[in-house]
Amino acid sequence: MAGSAGLVLCGHELVVRGGSRLLATSTSSSDDDSLFIYDCSAAEKEAQEHKGEDAQPAGEGSDTALAAAFSTSGSYFALTDDSKRLILFRTKPWQRLSVRTVVRRCTALTFTASEDKVLVADKSGDVYSFSVLEPHGSGKLELGHLSMLLDVAVSPDDRYVLTADRDEKIRVSWAAAPHNIESFCLGHTEFVSRIFVVPDHPELLLSSSGDCTLRLWQYRSGRELHCCHLPSLQEPTEPWSNKRFAASRITYWRQEDCVALLCDGLPVVCLFQLDVPRRQLVYQQQLTFQHRVWDAAFEEARGLWVLQDCREAPLVLCRPVGGQWQSLPESAVSKRVCAHLRENWAMLEGSAGTDSGFSSLYKATCDNMTTYLKKKEERLQQQLEKKRRRGPPRGSSGQTKKMKAGRAPRSCSS
């Protein structure tokens, strides 16, 4: 989320974003050492007179990149920033195509499978579509929620748009007519942080939440197939075993039907096997790192790339060796990419120690009865304490009554 460094992969194209900048390079083993760097603060301040719905001028912000995604083929790349801009790129070769203004600051974006639209989800709960073929066209409102949207996804056949919100819901809407709702996937007890449609099994959906669960769904029917409680996988001695957390990334490796889950704020990546015939997730292993992990993504040809807060080794490549996942020694490719990141480390420094924003999304709990009884007890104790300090009054009414009762009655004189 906002302020955190990110990693996006498609084919051999690798993009690292941090602050207002993005760095794009290739993981190909060829001698091509091309490097593309873009700074969002250099984008045109278009439509300065236009006001967003939150009464802040469009174009005013920190220029920090908030969300980014490749199209399915990798031919296009899009990102949104804190200044409410949607920036569209062509990647072969890298070239900026357009800068457009969005209504509100965005939380997630994705391309349709046909690559003709970019769908952008925002803080107000709306999803807008922007044309890729007409890169300067205005956005079109597609659907809306009553609460903040945290993620958006599209089915591989472009028939359904899936949205996840802060109020624990996953909605499955028809892409052609988004006001028609196919189903809801209900079961999470906190905000839904990430959703992911499994590419090789387009009927399946993965979701993660602030309730510390990873769930598998048959999303067209809204049926939950499996639920994995992440705290049960942690060792009790680990310092984060009692900490609540949400997943900031779900990524998938087709070769092994492997799912990697990055837990926000923790130096760990959890690995699962997707058992499609049995419709369940099988926990495999936990990768632990010495530094904070910012993001992770699979490259089909190599394995799992992990972006971490370590200038000496910002990117680590992990693969299964002998049935166990482990980090590999630096190869020529990883050395080259890490060298680029070290040269541009300033773009990532601002992400160190930055809160992802998930901590503010948890429901506030308030037990009114307990609070009332506690305050009542405090008032009673204060009253008793005041009485003790005053002590018994002089010539109390009880003593006066006794004295009056002991006197002989006066005789009446004639």
Beta bridge partners of 216: 206, 226
369 lies in a domain? Answer: no
Task: Supply the pLDDT for residue 56.
Answer: 45
382 lies in a domain? Answer: no
94's CB contacts (< 8 A; 6+ apart) are: 24, 36
7's CB contacts (< 8 A; 6+ apart) are: 14, 15, 16, 17, 294, 295, 296, 297, 305, 307
178 lies in a domain? Answer: yes
Antiparallel, parallel or unpaired: β 126-131 and 117-122: antiparallel
Count of domains for the chain: 1
CATH number (domain holding residue 202): 2.130.10.10
Beta bridge partners of 36: 24
319 lies in a domain? Answer: yes
Neighbours of 5 (CB within 10 A): 24
405 lies in a domain? Answer: no
For residue 304, the enclosing domain spans 5-47+59-352
What's the Cα-to-Cα distance from 276 to each of 205, 242, 247, 253, rounded to whole Å?
12, 31, 22, 14
User: Structure pTM?
Assistant: 0.83
Task: Supply the pLDDT for residue 350.
Answer: 72
Task: Supply the pLDDT for residue 368.
Answer: 73
Query: Where is 310: in which H helix or E strand?
Result: none
408 lies in a domain? Answer: no
pLDDT in tens, the chain (414 residues): 555 799 999 999 999 999 999 999 999 876 567 899 999 988 765 444 444 444 445 556 788 999 999 999 999 999 999 999 999 999 999 999 999 999 999 999 999 999 999 999 999 999 999 999 999 999 999 999 999 999 999 999 999 999 999 999 999 999 999 999 999 999 999 999 999 999 999 999 999 999 999 999 999 999 999 999 988 887 665 655 567 778 889 999 998 999 999 988 788 999 999 999 999 999 999 999 999 999 999 999 999 999 999 999 999 999 999 889 999 988 889 999 999 999 999 999 877 656 567 878 887 766 678 778 888 888 888 888 888 887 765 555 545 444 444 455 554 444
362 lies in a domain? Answer: no
Structure tokens at 139: 């956005």
397 lies in a domain? Answer: no
